[in-house]
Amino acid sequence: MELSEDDLALIQVLQVHPRLGWADAAKVLGVHATTLAARWERLRSSGAAWVTAHLAGNPQQMLLAFVAVDCEMNQRDAVTAQLAALPEIVTVEEAASNRDLMLTVITRSLEEFSTNVVARLKAIEGLTKYQTALCTRLHTSADEWRLNILDKAQLATLRTLGQGAEGAGRHAAAAGDLPSSHLALLPFLARDGRATAADIARGLGRHPATVQRQLNRVLASGILLFRCELAQRYSSFPVTCQWFANVPAGRHEEAAAAFRTISNVRLSASTTGPTNFVIIMWLQSLADVMTAELALQQKVPGIELVESVVMLRTVKRVGWMLNEDTTASGAVVHAGTLDAGDS
């Protein structure tokens, strides 16, 4: 399967506004809403693209950690599978470095990280070592990464439509006050970030009007990031590289602003640990690693790039299990279980 320019244009629309209605998307792309709905269903069912929601990882609301793991070589597959089955470990990647696996972990608190994650890491046979870097400021996340397909007029129309988009105020409220009745919506949104109140109401056996009120509150709470994901093989950027760096004290915000001007950047964050900054990029080839490093050093003079890690394979990305070819398998890990989705 190959993706057309029309496919990629639709994906970029949903990257900007993952829950945008088809009628509004039609205004941007000049294509009938039913055609767009059918096109999206084809992309989703093939695993080429999907919309999901995941905990935002904002350190002001919850804990985000990057964990490097070493394991016995002959038990690597078993260790990887056990790590991927933990819902708090949202992303699992195999690394080409002195680390075997790179994990991204999101929990509601440091205590939950220690209880639900660290204790389980210690119990996994074949896992020999782990090292944790805690995020102190999330500057850029992958929900902000974009394809460069839409023209200026389309982007302008999209901005106009997005001003009233559902859930636009993602930083509007604190997250700690949501009751369990509201949190029950999260697994449905993880499996389908475009799920409607009616869809969720059928799954929960609740009245649609009740679920709509709960959904509105969840969307306004800021605890979730919605993102349209694309199988990396279709992105023109098949290589993932992560850098561990040191940025001079007091220059983190300046560095983050500079990194936002580099379109390849998928994540940038300030961290604790031996280094104090993490940058992740998608690149066109291994040859671009050196080019990217030069760009980072030019953007932020004084930055020290301590280590670069190229990912060999992404096993799980923000809750979604991936196939070897980077497409979505349809399985989503949430609430401690591995559920088969409908993608």
Tell me the pLDDT tens digit for each residue of 67-120.
Answer: 999 999 999 999 999 999 999 999 999 999 889 999 999 998 999 999 999 999
The whole-number pLDDT of residue 58 equals 85
- What's the pTM? 0.91
User: Which CA distances in Å does 228 have to 190, 194, 263?
Assistant: 11, 10, 17
Length of the chain, in residues: 343
CB 89 within 8 A of CB 104: yes
Is the predicted pLDDT of residue 305 greater than 80, yes or no?
A: yes
User: Which CA distances in Å does 147 have to 141, 262, 300?
Assistant: 15, 13, 25
Query: Percent of the chain beyond pLDDT 70?
Result: 93
The whole-number pLDDT of residue 167 equals 44
